[in-house]
């Protein structure tokens, strides 16, 4: 599966129509969850029941009828996605913990307040013959939008485009095309293997001793972000100045997010292209950020994002990516195997056997050795979705990294 993203250009009334379609999507999703919550226990509510209920909503609410019928179904499917995730991750006993150990949201479905996208399936839109413009044909009044981007959608047939999504971001509106093709780019074997130890001092240290510098995008932009945040509160609560200040603040955060994604993607691609086996730690980042002293630095490093791209490119390039348990990888001597206790501030590994090297390099070698001894399990991205542009929040439900 491939996702192509374009920025769309239109007039203000078209942007207002997109916002109206997004609000309708949020309304349908929330009504679907409310319908499930209020339904009696003996009434089985599934995906098909919610699709049928979404059709009833179109007959009851004129603004919902203006949205394309498949877009309404897609909105109801978002509600079912939250419900099914709740069913999959919880047991019948309220006292039990979640069955699944997968990362992500687990709790009771919540009503959405910040929807930023509307999703059309195979109807409700029409591509111009040049494929540089797209027209939305429902009654929301979006009309024809110009597609700005370098990706060549002309290469793909219309029947391969499974969904089209309109997204609102801080810097404008975007259109994503979900193309149902397999993304495979098998690279020649290099007979190289590498272990990676992510950190804060350096972004990662590999088993060859190379240390990739930590870019610290948030730290560098923090002063500017705080300045723009203070400007918000200097404006009147209901004023155009406050709206502009909030938009500027959101743009600065969006820039940091995009920098992190592009940085992680570039490094992961190079690592997977240059090595047949990539070993890394199976870290629980969501637990590590609970340490308020390191939370900002860990989040700024984007370890989990880097891991997601490694898993994706390993599948795409037909390479092997293995996650190993992180226990004692920093304490264990990579030469003789003896545990050498050291604090986090100790950056050099010194063992009685004479092995002397950087702490992170020692950990990276241990990670690689564990992977070669099958101390981990291959990590594969089952969706195989590629994103070809800067990524953002709305892309998550299509399965590729955020």
The residue whose two tokens read 């203070």 is: 230
63 vs 89, which has greater pLDDT?
63
| Res 294 pLDDT > 90 | no
| 239: Cβ contacts below 8 Å, ≥ 6 apart | none
Write out pLDDT tens, residues 126-156: 999 888 999 999 999 999 999 998 888 888 8
159 vs 399, which has greater pLDDT?
159
Question: What does residue 110 show for φ and ψ, rounded to 5 degrees?
Answer: -110, 155
Write out pLDDT tens, residues 207-216: 998 999 999 9
Asked whether the beta carbons of 73 and 49 are under 8 A apart, the reply is: no
CA distance 115 to 79: 12
CA distance 367 to 353: 20
| Res 372 pLDDT > 60 | yes
374 vs 195, which has greater pLDDT?
195
Q: Classify the phi-psi angles of 143: left when phi > 0, otherwise alpha if psi is within -120 to 50, otherwise beta.
A: left
CA distance 43 to 53: 13
pLDDT score at 178: 92
pLDDT score at 150: 83
CA triple 397-399-402, angle to 5 deg:
80
* HSE-up (13 A, CA, CB side) for residue 227: 6
pLDDT score at 395: 39
CA distance 349 to 205: 14
- The enclosing H or E element of 196 equals strand 193-198
pLDDT score at 350: 87
CA triple 136-141-146, angle to 5 deg:
50
Asked whether the beta carbons of 151 and 5 are under 8 A apart, the reply is: yes
Q: What is the mean pLDDT of residues 342-359?
A: 86
102 vs 232, which has greater pLDDT?
232
Q: Roughly what angle, to the nearest 10 degrees, separates helices 303-316 and 240-274?
A: 50
* HSE-up (13 A, CA, CB side) for residue 328: 11
Q: Say what the pTM is.
A: 0.81
| Whole-angstrom Cα Rg for the chain | 24
Query: Domains in the chain, please, with CATH?
Result: 2-179 (no CATH), 193-220+263-384 (3.30.420)
CA distance 127 to 150: 16
CA distance 111 to 248: 27
């Amino acid at each position: 599966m491939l996702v192509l993203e374009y920025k769309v250009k239109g007039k203000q009334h078209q942007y207002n129509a997109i916002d109206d379609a997004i609000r309708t999507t949020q309304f349908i999703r929330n009504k679907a969850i409310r319908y499930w919550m209020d339904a009696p226990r003996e009434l089985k509510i599934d995906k098909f029941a919610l699709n049928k209920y979404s059709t009833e909503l179109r007959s009851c609410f004129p603004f919902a009828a203006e949205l394309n019928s498949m877009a309404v179904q897609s909105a109801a499917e978002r509600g079912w996605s939250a419900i099914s995730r709740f069913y999959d991750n919880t047991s019948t006993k309220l006292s039990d913990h979640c069955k699944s150990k997968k990362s992500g949201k687990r709790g009771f479905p919540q009503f959405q307040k910040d929807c930023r996208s509307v999703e059309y399936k195979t109807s409700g839109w029409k591509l111009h013959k040049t494929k540089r413009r797209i027209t939305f044909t429902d009654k929301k009044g979006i009309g024809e939008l110009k597609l700005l981007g370098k990706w060549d959608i002309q290469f793909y047939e219309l029947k391969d485009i499974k969904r089209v999504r309109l997204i609102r971001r801080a810097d404008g509106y975007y259109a994503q095309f979900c193309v149902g093709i397999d993304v495979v780019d098998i690279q020649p074997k290099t007979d190289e293997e590498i272990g990676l130890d992510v950190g804060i001092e350096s972004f990662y240290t590999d088993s060859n001793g190379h240390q990739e510098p930590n870019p610290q995008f948030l730290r560098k932009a923090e002063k500017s972000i705080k300045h723009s945040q203070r400007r918000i509160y200097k404006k009147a609560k209901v004023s155009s100045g406050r709206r502009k200040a909030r938009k500027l603040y959101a743009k600065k955060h969006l820039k940091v997010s995009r920098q992190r994604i592009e940085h992680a993607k570039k490094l992961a691609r190079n690592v997977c292209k240059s090595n047949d086996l990539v070993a890394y730690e199976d870290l629980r980042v969501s637990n590590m950020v609970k340490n308020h002293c390191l939370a900002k630095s860990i989040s700024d490093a984007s370890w989990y994002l880097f891991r997601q791209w490694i898993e994706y490119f390993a599948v795409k390039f037909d390479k092997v990516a293995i996650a190993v348990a992180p226990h004692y990888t920093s304490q264990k001597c990579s030469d003789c195997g003896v545990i050498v206790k050291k604090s986090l501030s100790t950056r050099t590994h010194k063992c009685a056997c004479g092995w002397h090297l950087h702490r992170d390099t020692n950990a990276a070698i241990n990670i690689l050795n564990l992977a070669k001894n099958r101390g981990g399990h291959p990590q594969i991205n089952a969706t195989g979705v590629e994103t070809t542009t800067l990524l953002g929040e709305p892309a998550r439900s299509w399965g590729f990294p955020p």
